[in-house]
Amino acid sequence: MSDETNDPIEGYVHALLKELGEDPGRDGLQKTPGRVARSYRFLTSGYQQNPREILNDAMFDVSYDEMVVVKDIDFYSLCEHHMIPFFGRAHVAYIPNGKVVGLSKIPRLVEMFARRLQVQERMTTEIAETIEEVLQPKGVGVVVEASHLCMMMRGVERQNAYAISSSLKGSFSEDPKTRSEFMDLIRHRRASFV
Q: Give the catalytic positions in this structure.
A: 79-82, 120, 148, 150
SS3 118: strand
Residue 122 identity: R
CB-count exposure of residue 82 (10 Å: 0-12, 13-18, 19+): middle
Torsion, Cα of 111, 116, 121, 126 (10° steps): -60
* 22 Cβ neighbours under 8 A, 6+ residues apart: 29
CA distances from 186 to 142, 190, 192 (A): 10, 10, 15
Distance CA 51, CA 64 (A): 24
